[in-house]
Amino acid sequence: MSTNKRKGFSENVNILLVGEVSAKCPKCRTPLMYEKANTSNKKYQLAHIYPLNPKPNELEILKGEFRLNPNVDHPDNLIALCTPCHIEFDNPRTVESYREMVALKQSIMERNRQNKLMDEYAIENEIAKIIDALEHVSDEDIELSLEPKELSTKINDTMNRLTKNRIKENVSNYFSFVRKKLQLVEAESPDSSIMISLQVKTYYLLQKKQTQNQQVIFKNIVDWIRHRSGTESNEAAEIIASFFIQNCEIFE
């Protein structure tokens, strides 16, 4: 049986893999670097998720298991772990620990993909004005809407009950308020509200291409709105996303 030679990975690969876990072991959260004598030093290893040279018993237990990349040295099949977690993962390797590590790497890759999307897809700056208005809204400004229309036909069982209820409450309490603010924004900057709607629709469709899970889609859209508007208010970003669900840009 031929064996693969263990290679030394470039500095760029090391930076990529340490950066994707925010320089902390994704298993135990131990820092992967330490400072000494004014230099940064590593205390991690790059672990192969599917083994570099699987032993006969590993070939058997991993037969038919999903692989993140057919090339064992591809960054998709590598993860930065502290030394104790790497040793524990390898000795002995089990199908359960392999599946756990695959799922962990997939979640890291998905988070990085979402971060890249959030940076690439802008939303009109005027959305920040509406967020700001929401953050300073008074009880007198709230005009209760009628019962949210058709939400039950748009939201399915992949959305949890608590989130469904928040969306319905957001629509009931703030739909009219957000619509009026969009109208004011449109008056000040013609076509900006149309651009915002199109941008939200586009971002929704990008999410829908990756997953049909509405809970995940809603969270990713809320994170994007919060990131691009510069707000720290998750509640305000959820209200905006809820508005666009009722307005049919999301979950058509």
3-state secondary structure 4-29: CCCCCCCHHHHHHHHHHCCCECCCCC
37 lies in the same domain as 97? yes
127 lies in the same domain as 241? yes
Phi, then psi, of 80 in degrees rounded to 5:
-85, 120
85 lies in the same domain as 163? no
CA–chain centroid gap for 206, Å, is 13
160 lies in the same domain as 236? yes
86 lies in the same domain as 170? no
Domain count, the chain: 2
Q: Which residues contact 8 (CB under 8 A, 6 or more apart)?
A: none
131 lies in the same domain as 235? yes
Which residues of the chain fall below pLDDT 70? 1-5, 139-149
52 lies in the same domain as 142? no
212 lies in which domain range?
121-246
| The pLDDT value given to residue 91 | 93
97 lies in the same domain as 182? no
| The pLDDT value given to residue 157 | 93
143 lies in the same domain as 101? no
Q: What is the amino acid identity at position 17?
A: L
Q: Which two tokens stand for residue 16?
A: 């990529």
The answer to whether position 4 is within a domain reads no
| The pLDDT value given to residue 153 | 82
Q: What is the amino acid identity at position 251?
A: F
Q: Which residues contact 183 (CB under 8 A, 6 or more apart)?
A: 193
HEC profile for 100-153? HHHHHHHHHHHHHHHHHHHHHCCCCCCHHHHHHHHHCCCHHHCCCCCCCCCHHH
| The pLDDT value given to residue 221 | 97
- The whole-angstrom separation of Cα 125 and Cα 230 is 10
Could you tell me which of 74, 15, 86 has the C-alpha nearest to residue 44?
A: 86
105 lies in the same domain as 125? no
